[in-house]
């Protein structure tokens, strides 16, 4: 029996793809190990969203040369978004790589490993993965057709398409029967989901109807696709998390237009207000130092953040990705990027701290991911003195907030 060590970089879609590839390997009789030295195969699933992410994946691959040389018959599979972008070129610089399986090719992984005669695998029926998490990730869309000016994803993941709701619902049911408490629906523009007239909102409603489901999340929604039908679904279905991770990228209409985001600052503010009115906490992604970003544009982002009071935000310095339109624009000085990032992070720290503080004294539904750590429906971390079973869902009174943790 071959043992596989898995290393995943990047977003939750990559986590889901990793699980899919691990299931394929399990069907070939492989088991997973957490100890690199015990492994026969290393599966590296990679990200290329920013230069730094790709760099990380490649330096990890570089370090694996030593591991591979220690024993005969060790194999390395390099998969995901960086693998898709760089393709077979990788083998020139890293000849110890055995298989390259790009992000567009996850569905075909089984035929790739078969055709490459990696090992004599033993086929296994009904393979399962050991899953200690109470959270199940379910892909509902693949690819992205948005072509935001700075983004590499559409190039490495291809055009968007929605998966059949019948298969999605079957996957959800099976995860719940195996003990999951929370389902996370995944897609790059997850709320653009549409399958022959079957909308994202309809999918949310059907999933909420499962008795065993405690909580439903989705990642990443795009502001452009937030509509009345979706807002009504949030109002009607309390199992849908009272939190949305809604990447805004910028608060300046001029920059948003250049990024091809398809919404203005005003539209964004109106949507954020509508979400707040339903009691939804919002976190976001922001890019600082987009090539055409002036001081005034950056100010617009800051004032939007002050109004929106995000509970958290991932803030990224613009990173040019070859092949995207924004990579052709003249970059701003790194010093400007550093300075703006600093100011923005400071602002976010304040709103995040305030968001945690607002929870003190409230009662929150906590879903335990570890015996003394869980998350509220509106996505705050909670720590308890008492131990709970992983996956338990309990209403708890929040005693106090400490920076970015709630105590209950």
Q: Which residues in this chain contact ligand SF4 in the complex, by CB under 6 A?
A: 144, 146-148, 151, 153-154, 188-189, 222
Chain residues 140-169 in contact with ligand F3S, contact rule CB under 6 A: 153, 156-157
Beta bridge partners of 5: 42
Residue count (the chain): 408
The interface region with ligand SAH, picked from 117-125, 149-157, 264-272, 328-336 by CB under 6 A, is: 149-157
Task: Name, in order, each residue with C-beta under 8 angstroms of 43's C-beta and a sequence gap of 6 or more.
Answer: 4, 5, 6, 7, 18, 21, 22, 25, 77, 79
Instruction: Report the SS3 class of residue 209.
Output: coil
Give which of 297, 301, 292, 290 is closest to 344, Cα–Cα. 301
| Residue 209, Cβ density class (10 Å: 0-12 exposed, 13-18 middle, ≥19 buried) | exposed
Chain residues 299-318 in contact with ligand SAH, contact rule CB under 6 A: 316, 318
Residue nearest ligand F3S, Cβ-based: 10
Please spell the DSSP secondary structure of 168-204, one letter per residue: HHHHHHHHHHTT-SEEEEE-TTGGG-EETTEEHHHHH
Q: 98 contacts which partner out of ligand F3S, ligand SF4, ligand SAH, none, CB within 5 to 8 A by kind?
A: none
What is the size of the binding site for ligand F3S (CB under 6 A)?
13
- Out of 19, 45, 191, 249, the only residue in the binding site for ligand SAH (CB under 6 A) is 249
- Out of 10, 102, 165, 247, the only residue in the binding site for ligand SAH (CB under 6 A) is 247
Instruction: Report the SS3 class of residue 218.
Output: strand
Q: 147 contacts which partner out of ligand SF4, ligand SAH, ligand F3S, none, CB within 5 to 8 A by kind?
A: ligand SF4
Q: 81 contacts which partner out of ligand SAH, ligand SF4, ligand F3S, none, CB within 5 to 8 A by kind?
A: ligand F3S
Chain residues 48-67 in contact with ligand SAH, contact rule CB under 6 A: 49-50
Pick 248 or 396: Cβ nearer ligand SAH: 248
Residue 164: CB minimum distance to ligand SF4, A: 22
Phi–psi pair at 384, nearest 5 degrees: -120, 155
Residue 94: CB minimum distance to ligand SF4, A: 27
Place of tokens 């694996």: 64
Task: Name, in order, each residue with C-beta under 8 angstroms of 282's C-beta and a sequence gap of 6 or more.
Answer: 243, 244, 245, 246, 272, 275, 276, 308, 310, 311
Give which of 176, 177, 261, 181 is closest to 226, Cα–Cα. 261
User: Contact between 241 and ligand F3S (CB under 6 A)?
Assistant: no
Q: 319 contacts which partner out of ligand SF4, ligand F3S, ligand SAH, none, CB within 5 to 8 A by kind?
A: ligand SAH
Three-point CA angle 241, 242, 248, nearest 5°: 100
Q: 4 contacts which partner out of ligand SF4, ligand SAH, ligand F3S, none, CB within 5 to 8 A by kind?
A: none
Pick 139 or 376: Cβ nearer ligand F3S: 139
Give which of 143, 131, 204 is closest to 174, Cα–Cα. 131
Pick 189 or 376: Cβ nearer ligand SF4: 189
User: Contact between 78 and ligand SAH (CB under 6 A)?
Assistant: no
User: Contact between 355 and ligand F3S (CB under 6 A)?
Assistant: no
Chain residues 159-218 in contact with ligand SAH, contact rule CB under 6 A: 188
Give which of 249, 181, 191, 194 is closest to 219, Cα–Cα. 191
Q: Would you say 348 and 312 are in contact if contact means Cβ atoms under 8 Å apart?
A: yes
User: Contact between 25 and ligand SAH (CB under 6 A)?
Assistant: no
Between 2 and 21, how does the x/- string for binding to ligand F3S read (CB under 6 A)?
--------xx-xx-------
Beta bridge partners of 244: 282
What distance separates the 2 farthest-apart alpha carbons in the chain? 62
Helix boundaries (H) for 28-104: 51-69, 81-86, 89-93
Rounded Cα distance, 161 and 302, in Å = 35
Chain residues 91-150 in contact with ligand F3S, contact rule CB under 6 A: 103
Binding residues vs ligand F3S (CB under 6 A): 10-11, 13-14, 47-49, 80-81, 103, 153, 156-157
- Residues found near ligand SAH in the complex (CB under 6 A): 49-50, 150-151, 153, 188, 220, 222, 247, 249, 285, 287, 316, 318-319, 321
């Amino acid at each position: 029996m071959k043992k596989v060590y898995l290393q995943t970089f990047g977003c939750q879609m990559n986590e889901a793809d990793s699980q899919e590839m691990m299931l394929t390997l399990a069907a070939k009789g492989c088991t997973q190990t957490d100890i690199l030295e015990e492994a026969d195969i290393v599966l590296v699933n990679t990200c290329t969203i920013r230069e730094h992410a790709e760099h990380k994946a490649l330096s990890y691959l570089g370090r694996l040369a030593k591991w591979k040389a220690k024993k005969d018959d060790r194999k390395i599979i390099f998969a995901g978004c960086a693998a898709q972008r760089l393709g077979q070129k990788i083998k020139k610089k890293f000849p110890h790589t055995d298989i390259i399986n790009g992000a567009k090719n996850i569905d075909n992984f089984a035929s790739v490993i078969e055709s490459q005669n990696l090992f004599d695998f033993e086929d296994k029926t009904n393979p399962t993965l050991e899953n200690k998490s109470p959270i199940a990730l379910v892909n509902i869309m693949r690819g992205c057709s948005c072509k935001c000016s700075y983004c590499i994803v559409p190039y490495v993941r291809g055009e968007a398409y929605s998966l059949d709701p019948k298969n999605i619902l079957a996957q959800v049911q099976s995860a719940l029967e195996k003990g999951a408490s929370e389902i996370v629906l995944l897609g790059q523009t997850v709320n653009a989901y549409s399958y022959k007239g079957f909308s994202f909102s309809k999918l949310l409603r059907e999933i909420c109807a499962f008795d065993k489901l405690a909580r439903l999340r989705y990642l990443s929604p795009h502001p452009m696709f937030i509509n009345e039908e979706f807002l009504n679904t949030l109002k009607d279905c309390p199992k849908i998390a009272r939190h949305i991770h809604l990447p805004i990228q910028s608060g300046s209409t001029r920059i948003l237009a250049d990024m091809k985001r398809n919404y203005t600052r005003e539209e964004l503010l109106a949507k954020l207000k509508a979400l707040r009115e339903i009691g939804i906490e919002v976190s976001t992604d922001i890019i600082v130092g987009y090539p055409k970003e002036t001081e005034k544009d950056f100010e617009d982002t800051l004032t939007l953040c002050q109004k929106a009071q995000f509970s958290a935000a991932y803030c990224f310095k613009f990173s040019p990705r070859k092949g995207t339109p924004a990579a052709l624009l003249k970059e701003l000085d790194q010093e400007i990027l550093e300075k703006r990032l600093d100011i923005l992070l400071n602002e976010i720290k304040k709103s995040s701290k305030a968001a945690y503080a607002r929870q003190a004294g409230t009662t929150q539904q906590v879903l335990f991911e570890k015996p003394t750590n869980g998350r509220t429906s509106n996505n705050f971390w909670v720590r308890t003195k008492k131990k709970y079973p992983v996956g338990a869902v309990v209403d708890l009174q929040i005693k106090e907030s400490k920076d970015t943790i709630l105590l209950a």
